[in-house]
Amino acid sequence: MSDELLIYGSYGYTGTLVAKTAVDEGTSPVLAGRRAEAVEAQATELGLNHQTFTLKHPAIIEQSVSHFDAVLNCAGPFSSTATPLIDACLATGTDYLDIAGQIDVLESIAERDNDAIEADVTLLPAVGFDVVPTDCLAVYLSNQVENPTRLRLALDGLRTFSPGTGKSIVEGLHRPGAVRENGEIRDVPPAWKSRAFTFDGADKEAVTVPWGDVSTAFYATDIPDIETYATVPEYANTVMKRSGKITRLLGSTPVQKALKSLVDTVVSGPTAAQRDQNVARIIGEVETDDGDEASAWLQTSDPYDLSAQTAVKSASRVLDNEVEAGFLTPGKAFGPDYVLEFPGVERRDIDISD
């Protein structure tokens, strides 16, 4: 990958893991970001080349990415960074990847499918934990029954957050939840539905959350009705349901700025030791209008470690011209078994015959 891949936002929490993983795998991406001191220090430590540029001036962004075959965007919030980088990539014929997970960002990228095909550019967002394992599981389950119409995905194990993830959560506090019905995304109240899922023999309460698969799973599987859940403590469930009353306040500029400053102060991301001890579990369910069902369980290593591995591998496969032009999701691009290539990932079918 020497001088073929540009990693933008390489010095953030996840970007740092991505850059180190790339080097550990024997590749030499070029690192980039808007903070000269941070990217220079990181590049010196890893022995890599680097660039410094902001995303404020389109001509400079185009000039910066034009030397590369692909850009991997690790700089959140992606609501601010995805569009200017994609604009530049489409203008210069550069493939684009990111680790975004927000529904609105993913939908905005999907809308550029025709532009990407015309420019012969691959747009492959969400190549981190958001949403590689869930997307691959969705594709796997969609192949188990004929004409599935309903998909549910539930996640357990999202216990620690990086600063970037924390800020993305803050950005979403003033927004409603979301599900997909009849192929269209519909706003719903926070924690709109709750139900128990059985993870390794233990029933855990989960509530609907606006996970990125509400967007991506539709494009990967054509399933029209999609709900995504996450396990939460009971007190969190209560807070989420009550938060609808103050959503406008949470979205105000002063509150958003204050909360993001708080994230910078108190959130540093899980340590390596914490990541080593953490796993994530996912349950997926599909149904048909005729009553056919299928369900499967997936376990992964720590979401941040897996994000670094999947991001680097996905970029490598794009650079090897294994992915066609246009907008694609990871499961659509690489198939349902792609996630099984990574250490610590297991999948098994769930018997629902009873």
> Would you state the CATH architecture of domain 132-303+339-349?
2-Layer Sandwich (3.30)
What integer best gives the mean pLDDT of the chain? 88
User: For the chain, where do the domains classified as CATH 3.40.50.720 start and end?
Assistant: 5-128+305-334
User: For the chain, where do the domains classified as CATH 3.30.360.10 start and end?
Assistant: 132-303+339-349
What are the tens digits of pLDDT across the range 302-322? 999 999 999 999 999 999 999
Nearest partner of 75 among 92, 51, 46, judged by Cα: 51
> Would you state the CATH architecture of domain 5-128+305-334?
3-Layer(aba) Sandwich (3.40)
What are the tens digits of pLDDT across the range 46-66? 999 999 999 999 999 999 999
C-alpha distances (whole Å) from 317 to each of 79, 132, 335, 347 are: 25, 14, 13, 23
Sign of the Cα pseudo-torsion (309, 311, 129, 55, in order): positive
Residue with tokens 């993830």: 165
pLDDT of residue 352: 80
Q: Got the DSSP string for 88-110?
A: HHHHHT-EEEE----HHHHHHHH
Edge-to-edge strands, sheet with 122-124: 50-52, 30-33, 5-8, 70-73, 95-98, 122-124, 326-327
pLDDT of residue 70: 98
Write the DSSP symbol of residue 341: G
What are the tens digits of pLDDT across the range 200-210? 888 999 999 99
Q: Look up the pTM and report it.
A: 0.88
What are the tens digits of pLDDT across the range 212-253? 999 999 999 999 999 999 987 553 444 444 455 545 544 455
